[in-house]
Structure 1
Amino acid sequence: MNSADGAAVVVGVDGSEPALRAVRLAAAEADRRRRPLRVVHGFIWPLLRVPVGRPPDGPPGSGLRHQAEELVARAVAEAEATRPGLRTTGEIIDGEASAVLLGESATAAMIVLGDRGLGGFTALLVGSVAVQVTTYADCPVLVARGEERPDGPVVVGVDDSALSRSAVDFAAEQAALRGTTLHAVHAYRYPASAGPGDMRPLVYDQNELRDEEQRVLTESLAGIAERYPDLPVTRDMVRDRPVPALTAASRRAALVVVGGRGRGELKGLLLGSVSHGLLHHSACPVAVVRAPD
């Protein structure tokens, strides 16, 4: 996470109800972290050479630019109503939504956005704003979806990758800030290959496999007790694929946290990868965390 002094929580808005849900989630996050909230709208019309001002014969307040100003103002008001006293600003930035938010991610503490926007069904497709931003952002991305359960645990998916360790660190901080439990879930099925060309064994000892996966789970949480001595931590090993296992855990969670790409995920670009699978199926908000460069 960008820890620069004054780094804001940035939320992307487009006037849709999912975007307003994201604003409320972002306001709560900024308040917990004692950071300012920055409301941003990607204004694509100038790039398409569409007139954005008031038409010559149009009524006062008409025009695409004015509509954008109004939707940003509504989002700022929503944030201020959600968390009174929160430092909140709004800005319209010319550009496509994904590009604008990715540009913001270089200096943001976090990006927050809805799981879908005004495009409706298009948000379910690879290439949507949520998928692009979670894949390429330089900071953690929080996607508002499902049901918010303030009393639920923060669930984190773990494996033996560097991204998993970053996700665990982020999830532990989230659980501590929220005053709730950290619940680590490690899903496994069969022995993994060591690399290209390495075949999985046809016969293996299930007890040895479980012991090895238990080691992965234990090592993924190394150091958490020392950094957060008062944080309750639970753990779960599940004989399943990661997406179904984490989706099941999300049904009682406040938040699910995963790395942007983990073992076996070709840089998070494959449909069906853990992070992208959860964007489609999680029953609560999802945070996607990248490992530091």
Structure 2
Amino acid sequence: MSCMDHRDRRHAVVVGFDDSAGSRHAVQWAAAEASARERALVIVHALDLHPAAGAHVRQPVLDPVDRPRRETAIRALSPLVTETRRSAPDLDVVATLSDTDATTAISDITAELDGALIVVGSSGHSALPRMLIGSTAADLVHAARQITVIVRGNENSATDGPVLVGVDGTDFTAKLFDFAFQHAAAHGNTVHAIHALGARWLGLVGPAFNPDRRAAPPGAATAEFARRHLDERRKRYPDVPATFDVVDDRPAQALVDRSDMASLVVVGNRRHGPIRRTVFGSVSHALLYHAKCPVAVVPS
């Protein structure tokens, strides 16, 4: 197999591959997503031969040690591309090798194509046990400007379950709903939004307090805010059923506990301000380690 030119696949779904079981599952998920979106699928295999090079730069293979690695990568990619095309005959699938590291390769190619989505597996070939979600997945979630999906679970995970959305009552909620409804509409899923009252405490400042019962019910303002957003999107997506719950739990726990029946969990990742980064980052971080289904992280 010769690697194909990906440069004319604008707005493609970009998926990372390293021949691990997790990355193969990610390619399957990404292929289904690309088909639903009617986008091309670009599979990126990074060799990490020349870390300083840009992802689109093809360095000449002068080191004889590099050549076997490239040939091994091609042998892994060739049947993968064939099988993906067989399972989705109408899908435009291309594969590309990059000499640089995976995070740089995926980021650069996605930016070059104005990619619709980044997809990676929850773990790769790292030999370090602590890297449970893989360094590439963690780096992309932290730095990517595009929505990044970490494919957790396995091939038997629910695909017809609801799309879960964690909401916190800020304007960022609109962005989360937009992606959740778009995904649900493409795949025939429902949307279930959750506001966890533990968002007020997050386990960082001691036990939950008991509010004045004469005051407005906890979460009332967020519930009203979320319902307004839901009503707007129900009009835009009339075929997507949507529900909303306020739960007395911490956000990460509420979403993790419900993820075994979900097809996707959608959360936000703010990267401004140390307090907000700690608070909201902790929710997405926990889901990347513990969710039982794929997790979509929407950047601010």
TM-score by length of 1: 0.83
Which one-letter code corresponds to 2:149 in the other structure?
L
In the TM superposition, what are the counterparts of 1:10-49 in structure 2 within 5 Å?
A: 10-47=14-51
Deviation of the 1:220 alpha carbon: 4.2
Percent identity of equivalent pairs:
36
Moved more, 79-88 or 18-27: 79-88
Which residue, 174, 181, 203 being the options, matches 2:183? 174
> Residues 201 and 179 from structure 1, CA distance in 2 versus in 1: closer, same or farther, beyond 3 angstroms?
closer
- Render the CA deviation track for 1:14-57: whole Å, top value 9, x for unaligned: 11010000000000000000000001011202349xx967859x
Contact 2:270 2:280 in 1 (8 A): no
C-alpha distance in 1, partners of 2:288/2:51?
Answer: 29
Q: CA deviation at 1:143?
A: 1.1
Cα distance in 2 for residues equivalent to 1:271 and 1:257: 13
Alignment check: 8 A CA contact 2:119 2:148 kept:
yes
SS in 2 for 1:46: coil
How far 1:222 sits from its partner (Å)?
Answer: 4.5
Q: CA separation in 2, counterparts of 1:223 and 1:271? A: 25
Verify the 8 A CA contact 2:14 2:115 in the aligned structure 1. yes
Instruction: Check 1:102–1:228 CA distance in 2 against 1; reply closer, same or farther (3 A cut).
Output: same
Tell me the alpha carbon deviations over residues 100-129 of structure 1, each in whole angstroms, 9 at most, x when there is no partner: 11223322110111000011524327x811
Counterpart pick for 1:150 among 148, 159, 170: 159
**Counterpart selection for 1:103 from 105, 108, 112:** 108
Q: Are 1:275 and 2:275 matched, yes or no?
A: no
TM-score w.r.t. length of structure 2: 0.81
Q: Distance in 2 between matches of 1:171 and 1:31?
A: 17
Counterpart of 1:123 in structure 2 is: 131
Secondary structure class of the residue paired with 2:172: helix
SS at match of 1:123: coil
Higher deviation after alignment, 258-267 or 228-237: 258-267
1:88 counterpart residue number: 93
The letter for the 1-side match of 2:33 is E
- The aligned residue for residue 137 of structure 1 is 144
Give 1:204's match in structure 2, choosing from 212, 218, 223.
Answer: 212
Q: CA contact under 8 A between 1:188 and 1:241: conserved in structure 2?
A: yes
Query: Is 1:285 equivalent to 2:290 in the alignment?
Result: no
Specify the SS of the correspondent of 2:217.
helix
Question: What corresponds to 1:196 in structure 2?
Answer: none
Q: Is the CA contact (8 Å cut-off) linking 1:13 and 1:75 kept in structure 2?
A: no
Shift of the 191–15 alpha-carbon distance from structure 1 to 2, 3 Å rule, reads: closer
Q: Structure 2 CA distance, aligned partners of 1:266 and 1:77?
A: 47
- Shift of residue 167 of structure 1? 1.1
Counterpart residue number, 2:56:
none
Deviates more, 1:34-43 or 1:218-227: 218-227
The gaps in structure 2 that reach 5 residues or longer are: 1-7, 53-59, 202-207
SS of match in other structure, 1:63: helix
Q: C-alpha root-mean-square deviation of aligned residues, in Å?
A: 3.2
- Structure 1 segments of 4+ aligned residues over 4 angstroms from their partners: 51-56, 200-203, 262-272
Distance (Å, rounded) in 2 between the aligned partners of 1:290 and 1:16: 26
Cα deviation for residue 162 of structure 1 reads: 3.3
Q: Is the 8 A contact 1:161 1:262 kept in 2?
A: no
- 2: CA distance, partners of 1:129 / 1:242: 25
Residue aligned with 2:42, SS: strand
Q: Check 1:100–1:5 CA distance in 2 against 1; reply closer, same or farther (3 A cut).
A: closer
- Residue 252 of structure 1 is aligned with which of 257, 261, 281? 261
Query: Unaligned stretches of 5+ in structure 1?
Result: 193-199
Report the CA distance shift for 1:269/1:11 in structure 2 as closer, same or farther (over 3 A).
Answer: farther
